[in-house]
Amino acid sequence: MITTIQYNSRKLKIDLSQPLDISIPLKGNAPNVNAWYIGPPKIAPEVIDGETISVADGAVVNFNTITFNPHSHITHTETVGHITEKVYSINKHLKQFFFLAEVVTVAPEKLGDDYVISKKQLQFALGNKKRDAVIIRTLPNTKEKKSRQYSNTNPTYLMEDAAIYLRTKGVKHLLIDLPSVDKEQDGGELLAHNAFWNTKGNLRLDATITEFIYVSNKIDDGCYMLNLQIAPFENDASPSKPILYKVIE
């Protein structure tokens, strides 16, 4: 279904019948994607008065309790409250859900023992395009990203100047297929988080970072309408389901 929407001063055509899901679902077992040194998520039926509340065990309903950490186990969207003493809830500060987005693919650069995404790479990928959201797909891009165990692996991260570049370019929503925009062990500096949210200036309370996405190789680089769906958690972060719709030129 092709529809025309008014977005700011532009009229855009998108095909609502062709949603492109770039989230990683949560599974209650060890092969679930994981980071930050904790165990896997759990999905299990509650036991009440000795009765397992599961249809398979004779109950009339399934009644599962899910235990997980959004930062460790699933595609999630976070506010500046992730790194501030004051609580900033994603549910209170993300109030719009459709954004003009650009998908870019980046081959991380070697820097000492690390692999990084630099300002220069993003400048080349984005050029003079004006986008509210930028979606970064890193190479190599394999389905293993959906189940990778990232703890103690020193994954690729975003350089501070790259985060500053995105902020000054007016990007409000950064999405990336990594467990963090920052280095796994950086002494607590969190340079990219702080730079993107401008913690040394006027806090960007309406800006978000989404981590642990997976952008299939079937999705081309280019312009999309992003629907950034979150669960209504009063927390610094929420599980999220970013959906892309190709903008038809």
What residue segments make up the domains of the chain, in order of their start?
A: 2-23+74-248, 26-73
Of 173, 160, 159, 165, whose CA–CA distance to 124 is shortest? 165
User: pLDDT at position 7, please?
Assistant: 86
> CA 216: distance to chain centroid?
14
Phi and psi at residue 77, to the nearest 5°: -120, 135
Predicted structure pTM score: 0.96
For tokens 């000054």, what's the residue? 168
Q: List 248's β-bridge partners, or say none.
A: 13
pLDDT of 249 > 90? The answer is: no
- Check residue 61 and give its pLDDT: 98
The H or E element that residue 162 is part of is: helix 160-168
The predicted pLDDT at position 200 comes to 96
What tokens appear for 42 in the block?
């759990």
> What pLDDT was estimated at residue 96?
96
pLDDT confidence band for 74 (50 / 70 / 90): very high
**pLDDT higher than 80, residue 206:** yes
First-to-last alpha carbon distance for the chain, in angstroms, is: 15
The pLDDT value recorded for residue 140 is 97
Which parts of 42-95 fold into alpha helices (H)? 70-73, 90-93
Task: State how beta strands 114-117 and 208-211 pair.
Answer: unpaired
Would you give the distance in Å from CA 122 to the centre of its chain?
A: 17
pLDDT at 8: 84
Q: Cα separation of 126 and 128, whole Å?
A: 6
Q: Does domain 2-23+74-248 have CATH number 3.90.1200.10?
A: no
Do the strands 173-176 and 133-138 form a parallel or antiparallel pair, or are they unpaired? Answer: parallel
What's the CA gap between 171 and 153, in Å, rounded? Answer: 29
* Averaged pLDDT, 46-55: 97
Structure tokens at 88: 């900033």
124 CB burial (10 A radius; 0-12, 13-18, 19+): exposed
Which residue type occupies 102? E
pLDDT at residue 6, as a whole number:
85
Q: How is residue 155 written in tokens?
A: 């994954």
CA-to-CA dists, residue 66 to 27, 28, 235, angstroms? 10, 8, 16
CB 197 within 8 A of CB 83: yes
